[in-house]
Amino acid sequence: MITELPIVIEAPDGKATWGSAAVDHPMRAVTRAVAFDPDGWTPERQAEVVTLFDSLAPEWTSRDVAGRELPILDALDRGLAAVAPAGRSLAVELGGGTGLYSAAMAERFATLVTLDISWEMIRLVPAGRTLPVQGDGAGLPFADGALDALILVNMFLFPAEVERAVGPGGVVVWVNSRGPETPIHLTADEVDRALPGAWDGVASRAGWGTWSVHRRTVGP
């Protein structure tokens, strides 16, 4: 079950900025296919995604406008604090792009890995705070139950891999930086429904975005 938390960080300009949802964006169709169809991640979709994000990589840092970080920080602060204490050893930011928020994430975990399928993105991750790895979230290069946290900021949800790789008591941090206007968007309830097994969690909005933190429950 997802518990909604009150909003404590308003949008920077003081008003709601959401317009129409990005339902027609090609990445929205991929998001829903991957989350709800076990065979949704096809070679054709993989190739489409790599081509798109390789082409966007050189300009990706221009998205780092002041305020975009607010839902990520709120999720990492209030979200992680609101679920029962989880390990803080190994976190993976999947679909981390050029690692715009690696420093903030690395402060909260002993080890952070930034994993992305796009070589053109991952090669731009700044050295130092995180371990950049090129790979596909549909087949995470980690042992069963190895992850304390899987962080997904505007990134696809691969439910079967989350179920396999996140350990008991581990968390999924889900952030959409422009809420329902984000092309890669699912509501907190949709993430909850898509995840196999037993999870609970909290959700809220911050700035222009939405976030949820889902904790894999331990025991009955």
Binding site for ligand SAM (CB under 6 A): 49, 53, 63, 94-97, 100, 115-118, 121, 136-138, 153-156, 177, 184
Q: How many CB atoms lie within 10 A of CB 22?
A: 18
- CA distance linking residue 83 with residue 172, whole number of Å: 11
Q: Which of 144, 78, 149 is nearest to 111 (CA)?
A: 149
Q: Closest CB to ligand SAM among 86 and 151? A: 151
Closest contact distance (angstroms) between CB of 217 and ligand SAM is 26
Closer by beta carbon to ligand SAM, 94 or else 172: 94
H-type alpha helices, 37-82? 43-56, 70-74, 80-82
- Beta partners for residue 163, in sequence order: none
**Whose Cβ is closer to ligand SAM: residue 63's or residue 85's?**
63
What minimum distance in Å lies between the beta carbon of 126 and ligand SAM?
13
Residue closer to ligand SAM by CB (options 182, 204) is 182
Burial of 197 (0-12, 13-18, 19+ CB in 10 A): exposed
* In the complex, minimum distance from the CB of residue 5 to ligand SAM, in angstroms, rounded to a whole number: 22
Least gap, CB of 45 to ligand SAM (angstroms): 9
| Residue 217 to residue 170: CA distance in whole angstroms | 8
Q: How far is the CB of 65 from ligand SAM (least distance, A)?
A: 11
Nearer to ligand SAM, 97 or 132 (CB): 97
| 23 vs 20: CA distance, rounded Å | 8
